[in-house]
Structure 1
Amino acid sequence: MEPDRAERTAPREYRAEELAGAAGITARTLRFYRERGLIPPPRREGRIAWYDEHHLARLRTIAALLERGHTLNGIADLAAAFDSGRDVGEVLGLGEPTEEEPVRLTPGELADHFGDQVTPENLAAALDLGYLATDGEEIVHVSRRLLDVSAALVREGVPLAAVLAAAGRVREHADALAALFTDLLRDHQAADPERLRPLAKSVVDAEFSMALDRRLRPRPDPQV
């Protein structure tokens, strides 16, 4: 007889010893993590504590971050910032269309991109910007392009905190430019709003390119 659908889809649960074995740690370490608040409380059934796949994922995250040099205190702070973040549905607008490609990351993979600059302060700033969102035990970055560019800037020696601060200012200017072009469209009753997008992007890209030329071009020596 085919098993009941609820039984087939029920999440796996573990006793403490089983969870510790699956995570590759001792039961004593698991108890220490639980007492430090590094993992959520288990489900209680009488005197038995039951853990699930979310607990296992969190333990694997802790192990990955420890391997990358984070301390337990730092991991606890990161977990608090992570747990207070907005969920992916809120940040991505519940499926509204976008040209940007979101990227799913584990906290360890995020640390691979930004190293020891994945701090509670930087994580909170990225969450506030809406660059990062949470989906269960995963982190979602809203844009692969912005993730790649941010990581490249950090590799060039720009602190992540400075990158995020600059991103906030860029957001303000980008919103102003978007308002300018949408007002232009409305004022002149253009027929197809979506045709504005590539045209507006071309104007902004060309003007920004020329602005960079003006800023980066070597200045001639003043004539004596």
Structure 2
Amino acid sequence: MQSKSANSSRARPVRSPDSTDPEITVEELSARTGVSVRNIRAYQTAGLMPPPRLKGRLGLYDHEHQGKLELIRDLRQQGFRLDTIKDMLENTPEGAWSEYSLISGLFSTTFFTVEAPKRKALSEMASHWATPATPEQKERLSQNGLYRRIGPDEVEILSPALERIGIQLAELHVPLDTVLDLQDELIKHTRIIAKAYVEQLFLNLAKDVAAKAESAKAKGKPTDGNVVEPLKALFERLRPLAIGSISAAFPVVLQQEFDRSIQKQLKRLK
């Protein structure tokens, strides 16, 4: 069961656009999606969204624009770069934007987490070390991606388990700067692995499911037109495999790196 704070931090619910919706202005599109007018136009310039239909000098947007924009918004919130998003959009079947936007909202922020976030005052961060954390250290703690600011002096710890590991390292008298360096390296490399899994595995399989649904619809085969449930079932199977693969590989790599380091030390002593 997710905590109240975890549920409140989820991405905004995504409304499935109705194909009968009237066309809207860029200001109305901005209000519906929470994306600024400036960013909407920047996404058009970058080729992520098609231009609006012009009615005189007025640009009008439809449900397809909104679906794409909601997806772009959610992917940006999850850390994807514009060039990566553009590639993803170019390889997604036409007409599937609203479904993808729903999927992004469904899985965003809480689908892959294994424990509820925990709130803590920023002033209490690093309180387990003998000396108080410096402003620079507190800033590092609040910006490495494991914490989400929710107030001037409050953060949401996204991995309480990792915080508990940090506390145990403090008890072993590991300096705070060393722990922060290790966390930075952890985030840097696991983010690379996570992006590879998302882009090469999850999104590719998602595109296959959506493409099959569109193909079945085009051929007049019976279909409910909903790809969310099949994708949820697929991702439920993929999630433990992706997370488990890291747990399975890391002990082997850790042992190999330990052995290499020992051999280097022995060579220096000769």
- TM tier, smaller: 0.3 to 0.5
TM-score normalised per structure 1? 0.48
